[in-house]
Amino acid sequence: MNELQKKIIDLKNKKDALILSHYYQNMDVQKVSDEVGDSFALAKLAQKAKQELIILCGVRFMAESAKILNPEKAVYLPAGDAGCPMADMISPQQVLELRKKHPQAAVVCYVNSSAEVKAQSDICCTSSSAEKIVRSLPNKDIIFIPDRNLGSYVAKKIPEKNIILFEGCCPIHDAVSPDDALSMKKAFPKAKLLVHPECRPQVLEYADYIGSTAEILDWARKTQAQELIIGTESGVYEILKHEMPDKKIMLIREDFLCADMKKTSLEDVLACLEGEKEQLSLPQKELEAARQSLERMVAVK
């Protein structure tokens, strides 16, 4: 641990701050964090936080979720320009237009979305909870926003529901092609392919396991397989390479990297603790409406 990391941990303890990091964050940032998790885990941790100061090392929608669930607390996003291309693909107006077109449908909003879009939705979900959330709803018609790939995966799991898809996606996961999957499977026939449902349906067909970031990590840690191909962002690959040096861990493609997730630096985290960054703020009406959809998600067991 370097001097900057020690300084962050010391100041974090003095200020009784909570540092949460997504699995896709740089390893040096993860090492100063109290908890590291996927979107669902971070949402639940933020809701239960006792600390008055929360630093969310991730992208904007994650920090917004922490603020929505803890409106009275100080929430910081260390890298203020860390956005999510998927979240930017849909607007609140587009949600309203979908509602008008399908008045009997419930709107299920993937957590990778803006607070404004969450405010126009009935309930949120994560990749790990999407199937459970959709099953929990009485509606037959479900508008699933904004990820068409995750929505397609859920639709296949629950054929009795009518899933209405929006044409959004994670461009990083969507860039993986079926040829990428096939070529890796052919090159390493003994390897197990672990894929995130944000990838295209044609890619999922080659997977030995499909799951959220946390689920992929859990499966990889438990399997007896000695060769693993990771079909999600490189942060998961880095974690597994560090934890299991004796296993052959490979990425499905070399450029599997979310640039926004890598923007957070240790200097950014320290600046939050030293009060040099602005707190995240949201309009009150938007915050209250978005909180309902997030709280409904967290309440589904």
CA atoms of 180 and 106, how far apart (whole Å): 35
- The fourth-level CATH superfamily of domain 3-83+261-281 is NadA-like (3.40.50.10800)
| DSSP character at residue 280 | P
Provide CATH code, domain 87-171: 3.40.50.10800
Contacts of residue 38, defined as CB under 8 A and 6 or more positions apart, other chains included, come to 22, 23, 126, 127, 128, 212, 213, 214
CA atoms of 68 and 115, how far apart (whole Å): 8
- Fold: same for 3-83+261-281 and 176-251: yes
CA atoms of 280 and 12, how far apart (whole Å): 18
The number of beta carbons lying within 10 Å of the beta carbon of residue 181 is 24
* pLDDT tens-digit readout, 127-170: 989 999 999 999 999 999 999 999 999 999 999 999 999 999 99
DSSP string across 188-207? -TTPEEEE-TTS-HHHHTT-
| E strand spans, the chain | 17-22, 35-37, 53-57, 74-76, 106-110, 123-125, 141-145, 162-165, 192-195, 209-210, 227-231, 248-251
pLDDT tens, residue order, the chain (301 aa): 899 999 999 999 999 999 999 999 999 999 999 999 988 788 788 888 899 999 999 999 999 999 998 898 999 999 999 999 999 999 999 999 999 999 999 999 999 999 999 999 999 999 989 999 999 999 999 999 999 999 999 999 999 999 999 999 999 999 999 999 999 999 999 999 999 999 999 999 999 999 999 999 999 999 999 999 999 999 999 999 999 999 999 999 999 999 999 999 999 999 999 999 999 999 999 999 999 999 999 888 6
* pLDDT tens-digit readout, 240-272: 999 999 999 999 999 999 999 999 999 999 999
- Give residue 301's pLDDT: 67
Beta-carbon-side half-sphere exposure of residue 164 (alpha carbons within 13 Å): 17
Beta-carbon-side half-sphere exposure of residue 209 (alpha carbons within 13 Å): 22
> Looking at domain 176-251, which of 3.40.50.2000, 3.40.50.10800, 3.20.20.140, 3.40.50.300 is its CATH number?
3.40.50.10800
For the chain, the domains span 3-83+261-281, 87-171, 176-251
Do the beta carbons of residue 32 and residue 6 sit within 8 Å?
Answer: no
Q: Which residues pair with 248 in a beta bridge?
A: 227
